[in-house]
Amino acid sequence: MLNAKDFKAEAVDEIIATAEIWGQETTVILSVELDEDEDNEACYIKRAMEFVEHNIDLINESLEMVETEREEILEQLIAESPLAMVQAYLDNRENSAVGQQYQLSDSTILQLPLSEEDFLDKLLICEALVLEIDGTDEGNKPEVNMTISFGVKDNLTGGHGWDLEIGSKKKLEEKR
């Protein structure tokens, strides 16, 4: 669980903290939309940080939802066919595969061809969770839309990854 003090303002639209998601250190990026003038960056950041402090429970609810809905989120990711892309990158690596195995820099062994289980358990990285929070309507609970950025260990895909828009908690529950 995060505290408001865990967040640091990097820019007007990026308030950043680090949290553990699915057993991995993950960057949490808040993009808070306020009824404020963004031209005065210092004032806007101050108001955004106050918003974070007053809405930390909502932010933690969103993180908890991502944690508990792991299976559904990973099903959405697998539907994007990342396994085929990673396998293609592995196939193009010269002299890196020995027989039917590929060894990562941390000595993890992947069986080739790459299985979905190995991809999810040994290779996939949750790089960032972006929470876009609309704080313009002070009368209602702010809506939080979420996007998760995924990558793989050892930069096997040359920096390419997948951004999965999972929407709000309400939208994810509607998909069930």
Q: How far is CA 115 from CA 6, 78, 84, in A?
A: 37, 12, 10
**pLDDT beyond 60 at 94:** no
**pLDDT beyond 60 at 176:** no
Tell me the pLDDT tens digit for each residue of 36-71.
Answer: 766 788 888 999 999 999 999 999 999 999 999 999
Q: How far apart are CA 109 and CA 80, in angstroms?
A: 24
pTM: 0.88
Looking from the CA of 9 toward its CB, the CA atoms found within 13 Å total 17
Q: How far is CA 77 from CA 30, 70, 166, in A?
A: 22, 10, 10
> Residue 98 has what pLDDT?
60
Is residue 115 in a domain? yes
**Burial level of 100, CB count in 10 A (0-12/13-18/19+)?**
exposed
Is residue 128 in a domain? yes
Q: How far apart are CA 55 and CA 99, in angstroms?
A: 53
Q: Give the mean pLDDT of 113-126.
A: 95
> Residue 76 has what pLDDT?
94
Asked whether the beta carbons of 27 and 10 are under 8 A apart, the reply is no
Q: How far is CA 79 from CA 29, 96, 146, 173, in A?
A: 25, 28, 18, 18
Tell me the pLDDT tens digit for each residue of 32-45.
Answer: 998 876 678 888 89
> For the chain, what is the domain count?
1
Tell me the pLDDT tens digit for each residue of 143-174.
Answer: 899 999 999 999 989 889 999 999 876 555 56
Is residue 50 in a domain? yes
**pLDDT beyond 70 at 117:** yes
Is residue 4 in a domain? no
Q: Is the dihedral of CA 70, 50, 45, 7 positive or negative?
A: negative
**pLDDT beyond 70 at 80:** yes
Is residue 2 in a domain? no
Is residue 108 in a domain? yes
Q: Domain of 83?
A: 9-174
